[in-house]
Chains A and B, each alone.
Chain A
Amino acid sequence: MVTVKDYAESIPIAWCPGCGNFAILQALRKALVELKTEPHQVLFVSGIGQAPKLPHYMQGNVFNGLHGRTLPAATGAKIANHELIVIGIDGDGGAYGEGVGHLLAAMRRNVNITYMAHNNQVYGLTKGQASPTSDLGFVTRTTPLGAGQPANPLALALSSDVSFLARGFAGDVEHLSELLKMGIEHRGFSLIDILQPCVSFNHKNTYQWYRERVYKLEDEGYDPGDKIGAFAKAQEWGDRIPIGLIYSKERPVYEEQLPALKKGPLVKQKIDPLQFEALLDEFM
Chain B
Amino acid sequence: MAIDFNIMAGGEAGQGVQSVGMILAKAMAHGGLHVFADQDYESRVRGGHNFFRIRASDRDVLALSEELDILVALNKETIGLHSNELKSNGVIIYDQEQTKVDVQGGIYFNVPLAKLAEEKAKNKLMTNTVAVGAAAGLAGYDFNILASVLRNEFARHGEKIAEDNVVAAKAGFDFALEYGAQKLSQKIKPTSGNNKRMLLHGNEAIALGAMVGGCKFIAGYPMTPATSILEYIADKGRQYSAVAVHVEDEISAMNMAVGAGYAGARAMVATSGGGFCLMVEGLALAGMTETPVVVVLGQRPGPATGLPTRTEQGELWFALHAGHGEFPRAILAPATAEEAFYAMIKAFNLAEKYQTPVLVLTDHHLATSYATVERFDLKAVKIDRGELISDEESSRLNDYKRHLVTESGISPRALPGQGKALVVTDSDEHDEAGHMIEDGETRNQQNLKRLRKQDSLKAEIGSPKLHKTRNAEFTLIGWGSTYGAIREAADLLKKDGMPVNVLHISEIWPFPAEAISSALSKGTKSIVIESNATAQMANLIRRETGYKVNGTILKYDGRPFSPQEIVDRMKKEVT
CA distance A266 to B375 in the complex (A): 28
**Complex contact A276–B378 (CB within 8 A):** yes
CA distance A78 to B243 in the complex (A): 12
Please name all residues of chain B whose beta carbon is closer than 8 Å to the beta carbon of A79 when the two chains form the complex.
Answer: 217, 243, 245, 260, 265
Please name all residues of chain A whose beta carbon is closer than 8 Å to the beta carbon of B262 when the two chains form the complex.
Answer: 63, 73, 76-77
Cβ 8 A contact of A84, one of B243, B267, B416: B416
**Complex contact B424–A62 (CB within 8 A):** yes
Please name all residues of chain B whose beta carbon is closer than 8 Å to the beta carbon of A81 when the two chains form the complex.
Answer: 263-265, 415-417
Tell me if B376 counts as interface (CB < 8 A to partner A): yes
**Complex contact A274–B379 (CB within 8 A):** yes
Please name all residues of chain B whose beta carbon is closer than 8 Å to the beta carbon of A53 when the two chains form the complex.
Answer: 436
Give the residue name and chain of the B residue nearest to A81 (CB).
B263
Tell me if A64 counts as interface (CB < 8 A to partner B): yes
Render A90-114 as a binary contact track against B, CB cut-off 8 A, 1 for contact: 0000000000011011000000000
Give the residue name and chain of the B residue nearest to A70 (CB).
B255
Tell me if B58 counts as interface (CB < 8 A to partner A): no
Most interface-central of A39, A275, A280 (chain B CB within 10 A) = A280
Identify which of residues 224-252 in chain B touch chain A, using a CB-to-CB cut-off of 8 Å: 236-243, 245, 247-249, 251-252
**Complex contact A271–B383 (CB within 8 A):** yes
Please name all residues of chain A whose beta carbon is closer than 8 Å to the beta carbon of B418 when the two chains form the complex.
Answer: 267
CA distance A246 to B285 in the complex (A): 35
**Min CB gap B31→A, angstroms:** 13
- The secondary-structure label for the interface of chain B is mixed
**Complex contact A279–B236 (CB within 8 A):** yes
Would you give 23 A-B contacts (Cβ < 8 Å), ordered by A?
A48-B427, A61-B422, A66-B255, A72-B256, A72-B259, A75-B259, A76-B219, A76-B261, A79-B243, A79-B245, A79-B260, A80-B261, A80-B267, A81-B263, A81-B415, A84-B263, A101-B248, A266-B216, A266-B242, A271-B213, A271-B214, A273-B378, A276-B208
Please name all residues of chain A whose beta carbon is closer than 8 Å to the beta carbon of B199 when the two chains form the complex.
Answer: 283
- The secondary-structure label for the interface of chain A is helix
**Complex contact A77–B416 (CB within 8 A):** yes
Tell me if A148 counts as interface (CB < 8 A to partner B): no
Cβ 8 A contact of B217, one of A63, A80, A280: A80
A: contact size bracket: 35 or more
CA distance A21 to B261 in the complex (A): 30
Please name all residues of chain A whose beta carbon is closer than 8 Å to the beta carbon of B285 when the two chains form the complex.
Answer: 65-66, 69
Tell me if A142 counts as interface (CB < 8 A to partner B): no
6 more contacts with CB within 8 A, not counting A260-B242, A266-B217, are: A61-B422, A62-B424, A65-B259, A78-B259, A81-B415, A284-B197
Cβ 8 A contact of A284, one of B245, B254, B263, B375: B375
Identify which of residues 192-222 in chain B touch chain A, using a CB-to-CB cut-off of 8 Å: 196-200, 204, 208, 211-214, 216-217, 219
Interface residue total, chain B, C-beta cutoff 8 A? 73
**Min CB gap B266→A, angstroms:** 7
Tell me if A259 counts as interface (CB < 8 A to partner B): yes
Cβ 8 A contact of B238, one of A72, A76, A259, A267: A259
Give the residue name and chain of the A residue nearest to B422 (CB).
A61
Tell me if B420 counts as interface (CB < 8 A to partner A): yes
**Complex contact B289–A80 (CB within 8 A):** no
Tell me if A219 counts as interface (CB < 8 A to partner B): no
**Min CB gap B478→A, angstroms:** 26
Render A204-218 as a binary contact track against B, CB cut-off 8 A, 1 for contact: 000000000000000
Tell me if B432 counts as interface (CB < 8 A to partner A): no
Asked whether A76 and B428 contact (CB < 8 A) given A41-B417, A260-B242, A280-B378, the answer is no
**Complex contact B424–A76 (CB within 8 A):** no
Give the residue name and chain of the A residue nearest to B254 (CB).
A72
**Complex contact B422–A40 (CB within 8 A):** yes
Identify which of residues 387-408 in chain B touch chain A, using a CB-to-CB cut-off of 8 Å: none
CA distance A45 to B259 in the complex (A): 9
CA distance A266 to B214 in the complex (A): 10
Give the residue name and chain of the B residue nearest to A258 (CB).
B243
Tell me if B419 counts as interface (CB < 8 A to partner A): yes
Render B132-153 as a binary contact track against A, CB cut-off 8 A, 1 for contact: 0000000000000000000000
CA distance A274 to B377 in the complex (A): 9
Tell me if B77 counts as interface (CB < 8 A to partner A): no
CA distance A79 to B214 in the complex (A): 16
Cβ 8 A contact of A40, one of B247, B255, B345, B419: B419
**Min CB gap A110→B, angstroms:** 13
Identify which of residues 50-76 in chain A touch chain B, using a CB-to-CB cut-off of 8 Å: 53, 55-56, 59-66, 69, 71-76
Tell me if A28 counts as interface (CB < 8 A to partner B): no
Give the residue name and chain of the A residue nearest to B420 (CB).
A40
Give the residue name and chain of the A residue nearest to B281 (CB).
A66
Identify which of residues 137-191 in chain B touch chain A, using a CB-to-CB cut-off of 8 Å: none
Identify which of residues 218-266 in chain A touch chain B, using a CB-to-CB cut-off of 8 Å: 258-261, 263, 266
Cβ 8 A contact of B198, one of A75, A105, A275, A283: A283
Please name all residues of chain B whose beta carbon is closer than 8 Å to the beta carbon of A55 when the two chains form the complex.
Answer: 424
CA distance A167 to B444 in the complex (A): 42
Please name all residues of chain A whose beta carbon is closer than 8 Å to the beta carbon of B417 when the two chains form the complex.
Answer: 40-41, 43, 61, 81, 83-84
How many A-B pairs fall under 8 Å by CB? 202
Tell me if B258 counts as interface (CB < 8 A to partner A): yes
**Complex contact B256–A73 (CB within 8 A):** yes
Please name all residues of chain B whose beta carbon is closer than 8 Å to the beta carbon of A274 when the two chains form the complex.
Answer: 378-379
**Min CB gap B285→A, angstroms:** 5
Please name all residues of chain B whose beta carbon is closer than 8 Å to the beta carbon of A83 when the two chains form the complex.
Answer: 417
Give the residue name and chain of the B residue nearest to A47 (CB).
B427
CA distance A63 to B417 in the complex (A): 13
Tell me if A126 counts as interface (CB < 8 A to partner B): no
Tell me if B27 counts as interface (CB < 8 A to partner A): no
Please name all residues of chain B whose beta carbon is closer than 8 Å to the beta carbon of A64 when the two chains form the complex.
Answer: 425-428, 436
**Min CB gap B217→A, angstroms:** 6
**Complex contact A11–B289 (CB within 8 A):** no
Among all A-B residue pairs, the 6 with the closest Cβ atoms: A76-B259, A271-B214, A73-B259, A61-B416, A76-B260, A72-B255
CA distance A75 to B253 in the complex (A): 10
**Complex contact B255–A76 (CB within 8 A):** yes
**Min CB gap B491→A, angstroms:** 27
Give the residue name and chain of the B residue nearest to A101 (CB).
B248
**Complex contact A56–B247 (CB within 8 A):** no
**Complex contact A273–B383 (CB within 8 A):** yes
CA distance A238 to B571 in the complex (A): 79
**Complex contact A280–B251 (CB within 8 A):** no
Please name all residues of chain B whose beta carbon is closer than 8 Å to the beta carbon of A61 when the two chains form the complex.
Answer: 416-417, 422-424
Asked whether A266 and B252 contact (CB < 8 A) given A11-B435, A72-B247, the answer is no
Cβ 8 A contact of A62, one of B247, B249, B378, B425: B425
Please name all residues of chain B whose beta carbon is closer than 8 Å to the beta carbon of A279 when the two chains form the complex.
Answer: 208, 211, 236, 240
**Complex contact A62–B198 (CB within 8 A):** no
Give the residue name and chain of the A residue nearest to B216 (CB).
A266
Give the residue name and chain of the A residue nearest to B264 (CB).
A267
Tell me if B282 counts as interface (CB < 8 A to partner A): yes
**Min CB gap A162→B, angstroms:** 15
**Complex contact A66–B427 (CB within 8 A):** yes
**Min CB gap A282→B, angstroms:** 9
Please name all residues of chain A whose beta carbon is closer than 8 Å to the beta carbon of B255 when the two chains form the complex.
Answer: 65-66, 69, 72-73, 76
Render B431-445 as a binary contact track against A, CB cut-off 8 A, 1 for contact: 001111000000000
**Min CB gap A272→B, angstroms:** 8
Give the residue name and chain of the B residue nearest to A267 (CB).
B264
**Min CB gap B492→A, angstroms:** 30
Cβ 8 A contact of B259, one of A40, A74, A266: A74
Tell me if B37 counts as interface (CB < 8 A to partner A): no
